[in-house]
């Protein structure tokens, strides 16, 4: 059972306290999570030689987490990823959301969950964060209560459970936006990391990264990670998805995904460090983003700003723009229902 320490990490200009929690297991491996965006601040795990290093991108100053471009480590909401033109219809009523990514709405808007201080507590063997989103916040209907729970095991498994309830019909899509570099944060790019996805189809998009509709086979394209390959091998290919995003920033359809069932989504491996990250989830899709626009972000824990491609985000979630796509898994939550999803980040070596 991990030991858990809580400390006051800082205060916002309006006086809100920001807490940092450190969970350490018997091997000396640890994680840190903070009440800014219920975010993962660090994951300290051993390499093949037993040397422990921090494999998550992040910042030493808690204030850097507010409104950072990369959304480093945090939980975006109320709807992670993009909604086309900031517009959706629910039960015959139209809703308008802030436009903050080209012509689209991204990650719940400029005051999304990732830029809020969540309430926090140590509860049983984990840390829980709670955010209460009021009806009308960022244009979304209904009061929504979201809870993010983190647990850290003796086997270096970081388990994140996401739940939400509401008092009127709304939409919700939650994930975690941590960036991983299995050689250690600040050690250079992740283009030599090997990625394998349990996904034989992906969602092609328009040039603003909104899915066109139907999924397409990855076979014969640079989007094929059914067999592991280096992230950098095809990243410069002349292919629409890679040109639109300056690298990978797409949602893959997890093979065999069933609502509520844990399914392996991705495996990331660094031959250099020997570290392996296996990601499992109850979600339908996995957005892989190779940190194509990290440059210019706040100063990282390594003492400098990160460069493009220095981390990869593996975001398990519902499909982008699902509120506007009838064929996609529903993102609607109604009173009396509980939104519940899980993501497990399991670290090992080989």
pLDDT in tens, 194-210: 999 999 999 999 999 99
The residues with which 145 forms a beta bridge, in sequence order, are 132, 165
pLDDT tens for each residue of 116-166: 999 999 999 999 999 999 999 999 999 999 999 999 999 999 999 999 999
In this prediction, residue 1 has a pLDDT band, given cuts at 50, 70 and 90, of confident
Pair 162, 79: CB distance under 8 Å = no
The confidence score (pLDDT) of residue 258 equals 87
- The pLDDT mean for the chain works out to 98
pLDDT higher than 90, residue 259: no
From the list 105, 107, 177, 193, the catalytic residue is 177
CATH number at residue 77: 2.70.98.10
Question: pLDDT tens digits for 289-348?
Answer: 999 999 999 999 999 999 999 999 999 999 999 999 999 999 999 999 999 999 999 999
Pairwise CA distance, residues 156 & 347, whole Å: 5
Model pLDDT, residue 38: 98
pLDDT for 98-107, tens place per residue? 999 999 999 9
For the chain, the distance separating the N- and C-terminal CA atoms, rounded to the nearest angstrom, is 24
What span, in angstroms and rounded, lies between the C-alpha atoms of 57 and 74?
11
Long-range residue pairs from 121-127, CB within 8 A, at least 24 positions apart, any chain? 122/4, 122/6, 122/21, 123/149, 125/1, 125/2, 125/151, 126/4, 126/23, 126/150, 126/151, 126/152, 126/159, 127/4, 127/21, 127/23, 127/33
Active site residue 228: no
Q: What is the pLDDT of residues 160-190, one digit of tens each?
A: 999 999 999 999 999 999 999 999 999 999 9
- Give me the percent of the chain exceeding a pLDDT of 70: 100
The answer, yes or no, to whether residue 42 has pLDDT greater than 90, is yes
pLDDT in tens, 70-111: 999 999 999 999 999 999 999 999 999 999 999 999 999 999
Q: Is 214 a catalytic residue?
A: no
Number of domains in the chain: 1
Choice among 128, 185, 310, 315 that is catalytic: 315
Centre a 10 Å sphere on the Cβ of residue 100 and count the other Cβ atoms it contains.
Answer: 17
Task: Give yes or no for residue 15 having a pLDDT over 90.
Answer: yes
Say if residues 93 and 332 touch (Cβ distance below 8 Å). Answer: no
Query: What is the residue range of 243's domain?
Result: 3-349
């Amino acid at each position: 059972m991990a030991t858990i320490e809580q400390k006051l990490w800082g205060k916002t200009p309006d006086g809100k306290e920001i807490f940092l929690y450190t969970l350490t297991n018997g091997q000396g491996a640890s994680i840190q999570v903070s009440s800014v965006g219920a975010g993962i601040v660090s994951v300290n795990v051993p390499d093949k030689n037993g040397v422990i290093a921090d494999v998550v991108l992040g910042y030493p100053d808690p204030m850097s987490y507010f409104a950072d471009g990369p959304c480093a480590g945090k939980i975006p909401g109320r709807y992670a990823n993009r909604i086309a033109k900031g517009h959706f219809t629910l039960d015959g009523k139209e809703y308008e959301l802030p436009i903050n990514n080209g012509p689209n709405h991204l990650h719940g808007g400029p005051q999304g969950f990732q830029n809020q201080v969540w309430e926090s507590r140590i509860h049983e063997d984990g840390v829980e964060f709670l955010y209460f989103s009021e009806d009308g916040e960022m244009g979304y209907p209904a009061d929504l209560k979201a809870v993010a729970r983190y647990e850290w095991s003796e086997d270096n498994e970081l388990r994140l459970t996401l739940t939400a309830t509401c008092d009127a019909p709304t939409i919700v899509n939650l994930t975690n936006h941590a960036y991983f570099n299995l050689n250690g944060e600040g050690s250079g790019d992740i283009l030599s990391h090997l990625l394998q996805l349990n996904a034989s189809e992906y969602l092609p998009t328009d040039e603003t990264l909104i899915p066109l509709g139907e999924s397409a086979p990855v076979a014969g394209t640079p989007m094929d990670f059914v067999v592991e390959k280096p992230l950098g091998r095809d990243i410069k290919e002349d292919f629409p998805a890679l040109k639109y995003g300056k690298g990978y920033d797409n949602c893959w359809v997890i093979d065999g995904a069933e609502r509520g069932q844990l399914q392996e989504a991705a495996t990331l491996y660094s031959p250099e460090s020997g570290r392996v990250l296996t990601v499992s989830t109850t979600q339908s899709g996995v957005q892989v983003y190779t940190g194509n626009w990290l440059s210019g972000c706040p100063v990282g824990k390594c003492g400098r700003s990160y460069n493009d491609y220095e981390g990869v985000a593996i975001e398990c979630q519902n499909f982008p723009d699902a509120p506007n796509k009838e064929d996609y898994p529903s993102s609607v939550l109604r009173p009396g229902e509980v939104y519940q999803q899980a993501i497990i980040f399991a670290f090992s070596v080989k």
